[in-house]
Amino acid sequence: TPQGPGAYYWAGAAGTSFWIDPVNDIFWLSMIQAQGQRRPGSANAGVIARDLIYQSLEN
């Protein structure tokens, strides 16, 4: 991905997460609540969002 240097993230309980790319001035905040057994695809939401966001910036 074209993430800038210094990008960082955090993944917490029940599907909450964020990532920040200060070079490209972008952030992602996910507040998925999937306590216990995760919903299909919820674990990949941040990766999917990151890829879609950077793809949209390239076009």
Between 46 and 31, the more confident residue is 31
Q: Which residues contact 3 (CB under 8 A, 6 or more apart)?
A: 21, 23, 24, 50, 54
What does the pLDDT look like over 17-35, one tens digit per residue?
A: 888 999 989 998 988 776 6
Angle at CA of residue 23, ends 17 and 24, nearest 5°: 75
pLDDT band of residue 1 (cuts 50, 70, 90) is: low
Q: Does residue 37 register a pLDDT over 60?
A: no
Nearest-CA neighbor of 26 among 18, 34, 35?
18
pLDDT at 20 (0 to 100)? 93
Percent of the chain exceeding pLDDT 70 equals: 80
Q: Is 9 helix (H, G, I), strand (E, B) or coil?
A: strand
- Nearest-angstrom CA–CA distance, 16 and 31: 5
